[in-house]
């Protein structure tokens, strides 16, 4: 696996949710009232026994707390840092109904797991070799969660990854003020220590096929995620080198040496196009990198944004401008500056967006497009048994099995783009179904 540069732009970001020390963690843990029918557990896609691990922290048994978490979610550290806990576990905390601050579950989870990692505590070992082989495509959270579960049962696992780094969006896509790439790789290294093999530079449609994997393995798990950034179909955009996909830009900012992005120091005005969580991450990152004026253009209204409301609130507090009801309609490049023409939009009674007549211009040095990512249907739709609906691979909700009995899937390819914790839950679910098939099939 390729080594990370020690000189990366992401390292200049402060931790948005600083870690707790032992005293703070104990005090916070002792606030928990240990609900009998804990809604926080129901709100967690991986079903972590949250009251149990919090009790263990309060009692000083931090190692046991970490194991409670990891037994349910082997990506407990990254989920502690990047999960939208405001909507999941902490959003379900009963203290919200009592008008009290909810338990900071994410911070307590991070405290417990970092304690175990910092002390080199290993909880798992591979099972006795079963003679079964599973191929996993895409080295993201879904595949690694599946591989971890499969290794516990002794099944041989090989992950095929097109890039030179493992981790998928955990490594290259999460905003650095939430989690840095080296945290992701630290977590993945522990899983690989169970004997999970990763083959880099292997890409479906280029030097790898599903048929080949089916021939040489007993089962295949597809955890490819989503494709490249969507592009704007706007006049002049193809002639402009400073119009970039937001996901691609975030990856470069997190992984590339600082020297490769030295030109960012000359960016004073930036435009982000889109209204989802990627757009909100991108605009906050640009502000964190020192861009003085960051504008987000979204074709609909504030109430229609798919991005999380708490992220939107933080972006505004950090000085990001939001131009709702606007859409870029032309680009004109002069040197490193782009004159972007934005047109006011109108939304009809059926919710369709149409262009109005009012226009405005913005001179920028960088435009990031965060209007979605391409689906991978064309790459897989010819494989017998695989079916897509609205760009998502159809799988059985309980097992992750596709229409092909040997092919399973999880993560963004199957759910369309959800959280890390969802990918982990789906990878583990599929692994258990694969193991069950080996045992009773």
Tokens coding 46? 């991986």
Helix or strand or coil: residue 171?
helix
Report the pLDDT value the prediction gives residue 363, as an integer from 0 to 100.
95
Q: Are 268 and 365 in contact (CB under 8 A)?
A: yes
Report the pLDDT value the prediction gives residue 441, as an integer from 0 to 100.
66
Q: Are 274 and 246 in contact (CB under 8 A)?
A: yes
Q: Are 34 and 62 in contact (CB under 8 A)?
A: no
* Topology (CATH) of 9-118: Fumarate Reductase Iron-sulfur Protein; Chain B, domain 2 (1.10.1060)
**Beta bridge partners of residue 339, listed in sequence order:** 332, 363
Q: Around Cβ 173, how many Cβ atoms within 10 Å?
A: 22
Helices (H), 355-419: 377-380, 412-415
Tens of pLDDT along the chain (441 residues) come to 888 988 999 999 988 888 999 999 999 999 999 998 999 999 999 999 999 999 999 999 999 999 999 999 999 999 999 999 999 999 999 999 999 999 999 999 999 999 999 999 999 999 999 999 999 999 999 999 999 999 999 999 999 999 999 999 999 999 999 999 999 999 999 999 999 999 999 999 899 999 999 999 999 999 999 998 998 888 888 777 889 999 999 999 999 999 999 999 999 999 999 999 999 999 999 999 999 999 999 999 999 999 999 999 999 999 999 999 999 999 998 888 999 999 999 888 788 888 888 999 999 999 999 999 988 888 898 899 999 999 999 999 999 999 999 999 999 999 999 999 999 999 999 999 999 999 986
Tokens coding 184? 């992701």
**Beta bridge partners of residue 205, listed in sequence order:** none
- Give residues with Cβ within 8 angstroms of 296, minimum separation 6: 271, 272, 273, 274, 275, 279, 280, 283, 315, 320, 321, 322, 323
Question: Measuring CA to CA, how many Å separate 273 from each of 245, 288, 297, 316?
Answer: 10, 18, 5, 16
Q: Determine if residue 232 is left, alpha or beta; phi over 0 gives left, psi from -120 to 50 gives alpha, anything else beta.
A: beta
Give the neighbor-by-neighbor strand order of the sheet with 156-161: 197-200, 156-161, 133-137, 219-222, 407-409
Q: Are 221 and 427 in contact (CB under 8 A)?
A: yes
Q: Are 74 and 150 in contact (CB under 8 A)?
A: no
Residue 251 CA to residue 167 CA, distance in Å, equals: 12
Question: Measuring CA to CA, how many Å separate 256 from each of 139, 174, 187, 199, 232?
Answer: 19, 15, 20, 21, 25
Residue 157 CA to residue 421 CA, distance in Å, equals: 21
Q: Are 105 and 50 in contact (CB under 8 A)?
A: yes
Report the pLDDT value the prediction gives residue 154, as an integer from 0 to 100.
98
- Give residues with Cβ within 8 angstroms of 362, minimum separation 6: 269, 271, 295, 339, 340, 342
In the chain, CATH 1.10.1060.10 covers: 9-118
Closest Cα to residue 368, out of 227, 240, 262? 240
Q: Are 223 and 427 in contact (CB under 8 A)?
A: yes
Report the pLDDT value the prediction gives residue 375, as an integer from 0 to 100.
83
Q: Exposure pattern of 101-118 as b/e (b: 16+ CB <10 Å)?
A: ebbbbbbbbbbbbbbbbe
Q: Are 394 and 388 in contact (CB under 8 A)?
A: yes
Closest Cα to residue 427, out of 386, 295, 435? 435
Residue 173 CA to residue 285 CA, distance in Å, equals: 12
- Give residues with Cβ within 8 angstroms of 47, minimum separation 6: 41, 72, 425
Q: Are 143 and 136 in contact (CB under 8 A)?
A: yes
Count of residues for the chain?
Answer: 441
Greatest distance between any 2 Cα atoms in the chain: 69
Tokens coding 427? 């990878």
Helix or strand or coil: residue 420?
helix
* Topology (CATH) of 237-369: FAD/NAD(P)-binding domain (3.50.50)
In the chain, CATH 3.50.50.60 covers: 133-227+374-440, 237-369
Q: Are 335 and 241 in contact (CB under 8 A)?
A: no
CATH value of 133-227+374-440 in 3.50.50.60, 2.50.20.10, 3.40.50.620, 3.90.850.10: 3.50.50.60
Tokens coding 215? 């021939």
Phi first, then psi, for residue 106 (nearest 5°) are -60, -45
């Amino acid at each position: 696996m390729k080594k990370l540069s020690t000189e990366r732009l992401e390292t200049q970001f402060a931790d948005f949710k600083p870690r707790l020390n032992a005293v703070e963690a104990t005090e916070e843990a002792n606030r928990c009232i240990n609900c009998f029918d804990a809604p926080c557990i129901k709100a967690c896609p991986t079903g972590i026994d949250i009251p149990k691990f919090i009790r263990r922290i309060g009692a000083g048994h931090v190692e046991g707390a970490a194991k409670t978490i990891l037994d349910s979610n082997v990506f407990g550290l990254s989920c502690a840092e990047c999960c939208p806990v405001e909507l999941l576990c902490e959003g379900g905390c009963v203290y919200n109904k009592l008008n009290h601050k909810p338990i900071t579950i994410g911070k307590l989870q991070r405290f417990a797991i970092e304690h175990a990692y910092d002390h080199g505590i290993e909880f798992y070992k591979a099972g006795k070799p079963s003679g079964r082989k599973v191929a996993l495509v895409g080295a993201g959270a879904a595949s690694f969660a599946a591989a971890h579960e499969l290794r516990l049962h002794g099944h041989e696992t090989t992950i095929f990854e097109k890039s030179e780094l493992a981790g998928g969006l955990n490594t290259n896509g999460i905003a650095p003020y939430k989690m840095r790439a080296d945290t992701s790789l630290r977590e993945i290294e522990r899983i690989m220590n169970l004997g999970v093999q990763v083959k880099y530079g292997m890409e479906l449609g280029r030097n790898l096929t599903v048929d080949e994997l089916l021939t040489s393995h007993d089962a295949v798990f597809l955890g490819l995620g989503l494709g490249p950034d969507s592009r704007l179909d706007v006049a002049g955009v193809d002639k402009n080198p400073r119009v970039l996909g937001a996901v691609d830009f975030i990856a470069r900012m997190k992984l590339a040496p600082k020297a490769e992005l030295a030109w960012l120091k000359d960016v004073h005005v930036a435009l982000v196009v889109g209204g989802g969580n990627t757009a909100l991450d991108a605009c906050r990152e640009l502000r964190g990198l020192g861009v003085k004026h960051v504008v987000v253009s979204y074709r609909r209204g504030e109430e229609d944004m798919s991005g999380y409301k708490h992220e939107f609130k933080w972006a505004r507090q950090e000085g990001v401008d939001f131009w709702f009801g606007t859409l870029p309609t032309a680009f004109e490049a002069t040197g490193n500056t782009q004159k972007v023409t934005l047109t006011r939009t109108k939304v009809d009674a059926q919710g369709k967006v149409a262009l109005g007549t009012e226009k405005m211009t913005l001179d920028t040095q960088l435009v990031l497009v965060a209007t979605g990512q391409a689906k991978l249907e064309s790459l897989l739709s010819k494989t017998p048994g695989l079916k897509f609906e609205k760009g998502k691979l159809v799988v059985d909700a309980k097992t992750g099995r596709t229409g092909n009995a040997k092919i399973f899937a999880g993560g963004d390819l199957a759910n369309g783009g959800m959280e890390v914790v969802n990918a982990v839950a789906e990878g583990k679910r599929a692994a258990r179904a694969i193991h069950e098939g080996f045992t009773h099939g």
